[in-house]
Structure 1
Amino acid sequence: MNDIFIPGPGSDDDAHPYRQELLAAGVPESMHEWLRDHGIGRLAAKMGIVFQEMGARRMVATMPVEGNQQVAGILHGGAHLVLAETLGSFAAGLHAGPDRQALGIEISATHHRSAASGVITGTAVAIHLGRTLTTHEVVMTDEAGKRLSTARITNLIRD
């Protein structure tokens, strides 16, 4: 597994302690201030998640299968959920805004087929963007566009 996590506080660039991590994860520079104190999270960075598109209504990221497999050599079911939760929670956080916090309160997934190599893509689409709750459907596909899993995540928004 590629460990692209770059330690935050105490790094050479104290003005932006997670700058390199955010760049490696494909986070647009316009969002660096929002994530400057936390980065994308150690687990998401270690799993190699790279954002392609970031918005409250739609968020897309990729993740390699390599390094994220279960003992049978296929992508671990928990890896699907990590990608889904990362996408849904980031999208909910964008919807919440800078003075509010999104907290995952429910996630579920159905696995349709396996992947043993390559890169998977997760696409989160908002089902509901409310004042106190958000719900996103997240579809994971392989490089051929075949659906691997479908997840649903609900986040609580609080002040």
Structure 2
Amino acid sequence: MIWKREATLEALNAMGEGNMVGLLDIQFERLTESTIEATMPVDGRTHQPFGLLHGGASVVLAETLGSVAGYLCTEGEQSVVGLEINANHIRGVRSGRVRGVCKALHTGGRHQVWQIDIFDEQGRLCCSSRLTTAVV
């Protein structure tokens, strides 16, 4: 297991209350020994003007997953901050919920690198993102 902190899905979802995570209805749904998953609706909150999932919303989902995963890999008073994120938008999505799956590429003492892939309800890859965080 890569996680150094205890966490439940209920506690992770409570972290979203009163911030962008809650506003976009991002829901943590799975926590395994090495991955974390969350879903987000594709609706008026997350659409761009042409009715597709906004690329920025995908990045919010990716950064949320990577940042929470990064925090779970720290101890004590440590936390993480994002240094860089990139996203390749591969397939448009008009409705439903997308699922982000986050896994570690590197969890060092000073920085971390996270791969976040976002899938539509048919399991097709829609966005591939990588987040680098600094441990502070």
TM above 0.5: yes
TM-score (normalised: structure 1): 0.74
The letter of the residue matching 2:42 is V
Aligned to 1:127: 105
Structure 2 counterpart SS, 1:28: helix
2:35 is equivalent to residue 53 of structure 1 = no
Give the deviation of 1:98 after TM superposition: 3.4
Query: Quick one: higher RCO (CA 8 Å, sep 6+), 1 or 2?
Result: 2
Q: What is the root-mean-square deviation of aligned Cα atoms in Å?
A: 1.9
Residues 12-65 of structure 1, C-alpha deviations (whole Å, 9 max, x = no match): xxxxxxxxxxxxxx8334x69xx7xxx326111100100012368311000000
Alignment of 1:78-89 (within 5 A): 78-89=56-67
What is the aligned residue count?
A: 127
TM-score (normalised: structure 2): 0.86
Aligned to 1:153: 131
Percent identity, aligned pairs only, is 33
Larger Rg computed on CA atoms: 1
State the alpha-carbon separation in 2 of the partners of residues 52 and 128 from structure 1.
23
Residues 114-154 of structure 1, C-alpha deviations (whole Å, 9 max, x = no match): 00000000000100011111111000000000000000001
* Greater per-residue strand proportion: 2
Flag structure 1 segments of 5+ consecutive residues without an equivalent.
1-25
